[in-house]
Structure 1
Amino acid sequence: MIAYKKTNYYYADGVWYKTRGRKYVVAATPRGIRVRTLPRGSKVVYRNGRRLYQYRGVWYKKRGRHYVVVNV
């Protein structure tokens, strides 16, 4: 579970979820949220001279020991 902007998100295999009642539903990827590890199968991509990582249409940028979801 990752708390971000007053919402609890759950992250598994590169897919983001949040709760709706007693169920988990797929959620849009929250921009700016940080994760410690990337999902398996993510690819390194260089865009405008920046090293980014992509998985299923979601872009990550390494910041320190975490990866942050960014807009590209």
Structure 2
Amino acid sequence: MSKNKVIKSVSFNVKNEKDQAYLERIQNVNFSGYVKRLIEKDIRQRKVIKTEHKQVQQANIDGPVIIRGAGLSLKSV
């Protein structure tokens, strides 16, 4: 194995229903590529949330402000 690589393992419990569904989903998928795409998507989403949060803080808005993110919430400013 190359010295330039880092290996991270993921365990799945075959008796757990959620884990069984995850295993079924990734059965015929390039797991490494799949995980890397999920990480990339998460990074992009977090950047968008930070940018939107800064814009909301800087704006002087009367009324409700909707902030997108992991959990949608309605905030009054």
Bin of the TM-score, shorter chain as denominator length: under 0.3
TM-score normalised per structure 1: 0.20
Q: Which structure has the larger Rg over C-alpha atoms?
A: 2
TM-score normalised per structure 2: 0.19
Higher helix share: 2
